[in-house]
Amino acid sequence: MEKVDEELLEKVIDAVRPSLQADGGDIELVGVDDNGVVSVELTGACAGCALAGQTLSFSVERVLKENVPGVTAVRSV
């Protein structure tokens, strides 16, 4: 299994961040495990939003999987 490049991961999260900030939220990288599962924390308006799960799955996870080799999943903590 390919090890996730955490520097690249941070850069891609930084690219996603403005779209979340536009809605009053934000995202913080918590960590990545040996299986490529990325843990993030949604903050601000995203933390209590009913659509946060969909945002995570259909936006953040998709972008990270497409742009960061080794990412297998994204979960909110």
- CA-closest candidate to residue 68, choices 21, 25, 27, 14: 14
pLDDT at 57: 86
Distance CA 72, CA 69 (A): 9
Residue 30's alpha-carbon distances to 16, 27, in angstroms, are 15, 9
Looking at domain 6-76, its CATH class is alpha beta
> What is the model's pLDDT at position 72?
96
Q: How confident is the model at residue 14 (pLDDT cuts 50, 70, 90)?
A: very high
